[in-house]
Chain A
Amino acid sequence: MWLSILLLLVAFLPSNIDSGKTQARVLKAGHTRLLDIPQFGFYGTPQSDEDGDMFFHANTGSFSAAVVLKLSHSSYAPTVYVADEISQTHLMFLGFSVTPEGIVSILAQGLDKKIYSIKFSSAGAVIQRTILYIPEKFAVNDFAVFESGTIIVSGFYLPEAAPELRGKSLITFFDESGTIKKQLKDDISAIDVAKAIKKISEGGSTIGKDGCLYILQGNEILVMGQEGDIVRRIKYEKPEEYSATKIAISRGLISVWLAKNEGDYGIVPEYIILNQSSGEMMAEYVPETELGNNAISFSAADGFTFFKIESGKVKLTTAALR
């Protein structure tokens, strides 16, 4: 009799308790704002500066088009950053970076195969172009630029690279002139490159108020100084089927965006919150259906902001932490 009851209890335990995974809380739709901006699409995850301004790799018809759109957090006034041709050679987008102060840089490859870091003024004018040495057969999954001018490019060697390099990760620190200051190879884990190229691209970084770079590397966040020194590692649990795609920090809270495949093209999101100083996991969140699956920014005060289109216009909805 007791054995039967015990078996029944075990059978009806939720699967997430079986796996030791904490219960994700559901984010609910809160304040909504419809912007006077035509519907648009974008690639990857947007970035934010410390004021909450949002920066998108806008879809103007091609992933390769190096166009970043800023929407101011208060008025939603736009600023457009375009990496124009250099010596009549087209530039193909590889990544972009926003400093906490809102300075935009775009990483792009020219038809001359050179890699350029292009820095913009806050008004959207190109103010500096720096040529960077990045190895061939290498996938960039993160690009960040410090206010001081230090440039960081991280990624991994593709399956087409030499056998001894395939799947090896590499983080390179350049100075403002493009000279390599430091490279990290052995301190970071290699990846299963065959799996990595079929998953949603991982990676993301943000610069904290402590002046350190917080960079996603699989199941850990590397906290790095501007000289390439590893200050600490924050480990977190992530099921293998999820990719970590974005990191944001606000008032001592780190949020990490996770995404897994669903069906042919779908994405199921999950968001985790960590304590910035202790690294402790504080909560996991999933959005309710009404919010959609597209959180674009995070703040400790307002929670997550979700992007949707309604009546041909951009609609932003906040979802407070609960």
Chain B
Amino acid sequence: MKNGVLALVFFFLVSVVAMAQCGDHVAIQQVTCCEGGLVRLPVCVGFGTGCETGTGGIISPCNSGGVCGYLLPGDCLDAKATNPNDAFAHPDEWFARADAKAFHDAIFGNEPKIKFVSCSTDKSEFNNWLEAKLRDQRKRI
């Protein structure tokens, strides 16, 4: 019975990894970091198999804090922070995923691995500001 449950869990995990593809396709986008500089990053575009699994990681070459998005397979809807100061999954966890590594290698080839930067504690300041403005705006409409 116990072995059966373990096999089921293993099957589920393998399925999630296999499903964790990017959206419809990947595009190299210009992204403005939270310190205002412009960098280039691959992002998932559109809806594709696996986006709804919420298994994504986020990577940022930005120097300072803030949620500077670099979206990878699976990071489409429900990616969750695993650390209060990190936006999304830990990089080691991310690169343990076979499909993520293949994706990275296809895009970056032999270039060095991307740096991961934890978000600062004030990562939500802009989002809070935006939400407050949206609430005020909707009261007026």
Contacts and interface: CB of A to CB of B under 8 A. Distances in A.
Interface of A: 37-45, 58-64, 67, 69, 78-80, 82, 90, 92, 94, 109-111, 113, 121, 123-125, 137, 139-140, 158, 160, 197-201, 245, 259, 261, 264-267, 269, 292-294, 307-309, 312, 314-315
Contact of A79 (B37, B122, B137): B137
Interface in B7-48: 23-41, 43-47
A38 B61 contact: no
B53 to A, nearest CB: 12
B93 to A, nearest CB: 18
B112 A294 contact: no
B27 A201 contact: yes
A62 B76 contact: yes
Nearest to A90: B77
Contacts, number: 169
Given A39-B36, A125-B141, A264 B61 contact: yes
Contacts of A269: 38
Nearest to A89: B47
Nearest to A112: B47
Interface in B46-64: 46-47, 51-52, 58, 61-62
5 contacts: A41-B32, A63-B71, A64-B23, A160-B25, A315-B36
Contacts of B133: 78, 80
Contact of B34 (A63, A309, A315): A309
A43 B28 contact: no
Contacts of B36: 39, 292, 294, 307-309, 314-315
A17 B139 CA distance: 60
B67 A60 contact: yes
Given A61-B69, A265-B40, A92 B76 contact: yes
A198 B45 contact: no
B68 A59 contact: yes
Contacts of B44: 63-64
B140 interface: yes
A309 B35 contact: yes
Nearest to A268: B38
Given A64-B45, A124-B137, A308-B35, 18 more contacts: A40-B130, A41-B34, A45-B30, A59-B32, A60-B127, A62-B76, A80-B133, A80-B134, A82-B134, A123-B137, A197-B25, A198-B107, A200-B29, A259-B40, A264-B111, A267-B30, A269-B38, A315-B36
A39 B66 contact: yes
Interface string B107-141: 11001101000000010011101100110011011
B86 interface: no
